[in-house]
Amino acid sequence: DVQMTQSPSSLSASVGDRVTITCRASQNVSRYLNWYQQKPGKAPKFLIYAASSLQSGVPARFSGSGSETDFSLTISDLQPEDFATYYCQQSYDTPSFGQGTKLEIK
Amino acid sequence: QVQLVESGGGVVQPGRSLRLSCAASGFTFGHHGMHWVRQAPGKGLEWVAVIWFDGGRKYYADSVKGRFSISRDNSKNTLDLQMYSLRAEDTAVYYCAREARHCSDVGCSIYYYYMDVWGKGTTVTVSS
């Protein structure tokens, strides 16, 4: 099974900041890496597929990069609605998620 | 609009069974693989099971293999998760999610898969 590890587990930032969340796979997953956003009490929302392709309707301040085992999600110019928990997920094998990164307001 | 609605959650004693359902609407259900993903209280997302678009293949997380069974009825646009021998650690919100794919190139030699539509979830509590 492919294990996904995110860092940091939590992060404090201010509106307008730029933040980066990293995700590491336990083996090469090529670019089969997706990102999701989840707000408290809500279902996850799909953001990015294939490591760097934005889902339609996702603001351009979100960007993803990486390949093989190391990936990142960057949010530029943080907006109040971006404070949430973010998960990476690999689709190279049977799916697995990272443990999540909680992005909080400083 | 595209929608997934889960039902069937509740409080159940350890060792008992429960069947969850997910009703799909607004898209051609039979064209998509479908997943169940769960989230224990205060924890992260855990993938549970997937079924191919035609029901031809099914895969399970090790934590539920042999106890849970995923199925679908494409004529009724429904996805089910039959859960047996429930344990306290199965307590979670259970989400159904649609699988979509993107062709990476003109020849479609590579597809990228992701879960693009999620239901709101149904809560399962396993407790005596």
Amino acid present at A25:
A
Please tell me the predicted confidence (pLDDT) of residue B107: 80
Please tell me the predicted confidence (pLDDT) of residue B105: 77
Burial grade of B106 (CB within 10 A; 0-12, 13-18, 19 or more):
exposed
Nearest to A97 among B44, B59, B117 (CB): B44
| A35 touching B (Cβ < 8 Å) | no
| B119 touching A (Cβ < 8 Å) | yes
Would the pLDDT of B109 be above 90?
Answer: no
Distance CA B72, CA A88 (A): 27
Would the pLDDT of B106 be above 80?
Answer: no
Pairing between strand A96-97 and A4-7? Answer: unpaired
On chain B, the residues whose CB falls within 8 A of the CB of A87 are 44-45
- Beta strands of chain A (E only): which ranges? 4-7, 10-13, 19-25, 33-38, 45-49, 53-54, 62-67, 70-75, 85-90, 96-97, 101-105
What spatial distance separates the first Cα and last Cα of chain B, rounded to whole Å?
A: 39
pLDDT tens, residue by residue, B18-49: 999 999 999 999 999 999 999 999 999 999 99
Nearest to A87 among B44, B102, B116 (CB): B44
CB contact under 8 A, B112 and A53: yes
Would the pLDDT of B108 be above 90?
Answer: no
Please tell me the predicted confidence (pLDDT) of residue B5: 98
Would the pLDDT of B68 be above 90?
Answer: yes
Say if residues B77 and B89 touch (Cβ distance below 8 Å).
no
A19 DSSP 8-state letter: E
Please tell me the predicted confidence (pLDDT) of residue A97: 98
Nearest CA distance, B85 vs chain A (angstrom): 23
- Range B56-63 average pLDDT: 98
**Cβ atoms < 10 Å from Cβ of B38:** 23
CA-CA distances (angstroms) from residue B38 to A61, A64, B44, B48, B80? Answer: 29, 25, 8, 7, 14
Please tell me the predicted confidence (pLDDT) of residue A60: 98
- Residues of chain A scoring pLDDT < 50: none
Distance CA B44, CA A101 (A): 9
DSSP assignment string, B22-78: EEEESS-GGGS-EEEEEE-TT--EEEEEEE-TTS--EEE-TTTTTTEEEEEETTTTE
CB contact under 8 A, A87 and B35: no
pLDDT tens, residue by residue, B78-99: 999 999 999 999 999 999 999 9
Please tell me the predicted confidence (pLDDT) of residue A44: 98
Q: At A61, is the secondary structure helix, strand, or coil?
A: coil
Distance CA A77, CA A68 (A): 27
The H or E element containing residue B84 is none
Would the pLDDT of B104 be above 90?
Answer: no
